[in-house]
Amino acid sequence: MNVYCGRFTKQLIPTLVCAFSGAVLAGIWLAPSVATEAVPVSPPRTIRLLTEAAQERTSPGLRLLSIGRSLPGTVNSRSPSPIQLSIPSLWWITQQLADLQQFGSKFIQDWVALPRQAGKPGQVDLLVNRQHWSLLDYVQRYEFVSKFSSTARSFGYNTRVFDSPDRPPIAVYVCDFSPGVAEILQAPPRKPSSPTESAIIVKTQTTLSTRLTCDLQMAQPGRRDILQKFSQ
């Protein structure tokens, strides 16, 4: 730096200008070291949820929820309420998928929904026919899981798909339910006081559901131990 300044001093440049030039150069030399300093960043909550789901998936204790379990609020494919809407209401999407030729009426064998508990969103476990699943191509599998899980999501539920009660899931659909969102989506249905209130309730739930950040993980063909992630 002194050599640099000395050359310009001989050319009658004031010492103040030289000092200023030195300061600028020092700033340029030091800037890269500041810019490249590593700053720890915490992973988004959705990534943490997916990591936890993947870790839970490999646990020996992770199995399909018992279809017949009778915990308060548990709903399954054989328990629609004759007097009010049961939450989550998955019978309509089940019928819609059964009407599609690539799936058929025997593809979905059963499902059970466990309500929100201990601050965690509700969970739907879906059992499909293993042989039929093996005949579907990757696009058809994605279509099926996405359609069913999107409906479950609208009620505040995550989804796991199984092809056997005794084996780990073949697909997992996880949403980042912000605090309070799951509570609103899973709120017990009540009779609106007016058509306007009914429209507001439906619009609120639809808006909340479509703005959620979700990820679908699905086992690759022939590799149950590997889940490929799709952001939705």
In whole angstroms, give the CA distance from residue 163 to residue 36.
Answer: 48
What is the reported pLDDT for 142? 92
Higher pLDDT, 150 or 230: 150
- What is the dihedral angle through the alpha carbons of 51, 54, 58, 62, rounded to the nearest 10 degrees? 110
The gap from C-alpha 210 to its chain's centroid, in whole angstroms, comes to 12
In whole angstroms, give the CA distance from residue 75 to residue 86.
Answer: 8
- Contacts of residue 42, defined as CB under 8 A and 6 or more positions apart, other chains included, come to none
Give the pLDDT confidence of 60-96 residue by residue, as tens digits.
345 566 554 556 677 877 766 544 556 778 888 899 9
User: Is residue 202's pLDDT more than 50?
Assistant: no
For the chain, give every domain's residue range: 2-35, 45-231
How much is the pTM? 0.60
- Taking a C-beta distance cutoff of 8 angstroms, is the pair 115, 106 a contact? no
User: Is residue 59's pLDDT more than 50?
Assistant: no
What is the residue type of 220?
A: Q
Lowest mean pLDDT among 53-67, 93-107, 151-165: 53-67
Furthest-apart CA pair in the chain: how many Å? 99
DSSP 169-182: -SEEEEE---TTHH
